[in-house]
Amino acid sequence: MYNIKEVLGSKKLLHLVSKQIFDAVDSDGSGQISEDELHTILCSLAEDFGFERPSVTETQQILEFVDIDRSGLIEIDEFRRLLKKVLKAVRDNEEKRKKRQDEEDEDIEEEF
């Protein structure tokens, strides 16, 4: 298991991780992620994290955002760019959460 900072800090590791995830999502082995495959993984992730399942329209909007070449499919390079953005957002969110927690801890210590 890799941590986000390791993956973002190494181009080679980012390529490896994105390929592993891409291959797991590409259920038919076509080398591309279709709208159906994208919707399936988004629904699975939503369920895992306790979020509302995305609608087909929301999945289509995500596909349009990620699909740079407008092929209607997500290729590995497009997926890698998406994964990098997601990992950066998760890292940034985690750092903000940790900073807030540290500030709250300092406030509690000052009260005593």
**Rounded CA separation 21/59 (Å):** 18
The count of structural domains within the chain is: 1
Name which of 94, 100, 97, 101 is nearest 8 in CA terms.
Answer: 94
Output the six-digit token pair for 31: 């080398």
Residue 112 lies in a domain: no
Given pLDDT bands bounded at 50, 70 and 90, which one contains residue 101? confident
Q: What is the pLDDT of residue 107?
A: 66
Q: What is the pLDDT of residue 103?
A: 77
Cα 27 from chain centroid (whole Å): 18
- What is the value of pTM for the model shown? 0.76
Which structural domain, as residue segments, surrounds residue 93? Answer: 4-106
Q: Phi and psi (nearest 5°) for 74?
A: -105, 120
Tell me the CATH number at 37: 1.10.238.10
- 14-73 residue pLDDT tens: 999 999 999 999 999 999 999 999 999 889 888 887 889 999 999 999 999 999 999 999
